[in-house]
Amino acid sequence: TLYDVIIAGGGPGGYSAALYCARAGLRTLVIEKLSAGGQMATTSQVDNYPGFESGIDGYTLGEKMQEGAERFGAVTQYA
């Protein structure tokens, strides 16, 4: 498969970039080593992310960010 954009890292920045690239119609691949959210996934409580007034754990937030990017067509590969 040929991609227009390859993003190294599935943390908050990576999945934000993937969402915008995929939404713009670019074929987008995210390569992540650990899990959705990257290092953030190991955080037990994220209290400063908009939309989650009671906070959210990093693993769940990472999964939600991955789902958001994949909704527009981004692909995740673990390597």
Percent of the chain with pLDDT over 70: 100
The span from the CA of 1 to the CA of 76, in Å, is: 13
pTM, whole model, 2 decimals? 0.89
pLDDT at residue 34, as a whole number: 86
**Residue at token pair 């999964």:** 63
Residue 63 binned pLDDT confidence (cut-offs 50, 70, 90): very high
Longest dimension (CA), the chain: 41
- Write out the two tokens for 12: 């908050």
Q: Is the pLDDT assigned to residue 39 strictly greater than 90?
A: no
Closest CA to 61 of 77, 72, 45: 45
